[in-house]
Amino acid sequence: MRGYLTTSHFYGRRKESVRFDEDNCDIFCRRDHDYFERNKDEYRKWKKEKLGKKKFDSLTIRANYARVKSRDDVVTELIIKEKMRLLRKERDGN
């Protein structure tokens, strides 16, 4: 389907500590999403280039060595609310 976008998670659902981490999520058309799902080495190469080594390594550490392995819905909600507040502030020029 043309124009159809989807979110790809570099580290999948088992890595809940980074499930909604901006560095872990990418927006792709369905074709590119399917390509990277079939070609994990290419996705890794692309992701490392996109983030840079330092941010890529940090994401990997958060995904694999985070003390809290499961998602905390309360913390997630607070983070989302704060990001929305900052976006509104930016939009309104305050």
Strand partners, 27: 7
Q: How far is residue 84 from each of residues 17, 73, 77, 81, measured CA to CA in Å? A: 21, 16, 11, 5
Summarised one tens digit per residue, pLDDT across range 29-85 is 999 999 999 999 999 999 999 999 999 999 999 898 865 545 667 777 777 888 888
Summarised one tens digit per residue, pLDDT across range 12-26 is 988 888 888 999 999
Q: Per the confidence metrics, is the pTM higher than 0.75?
A: no
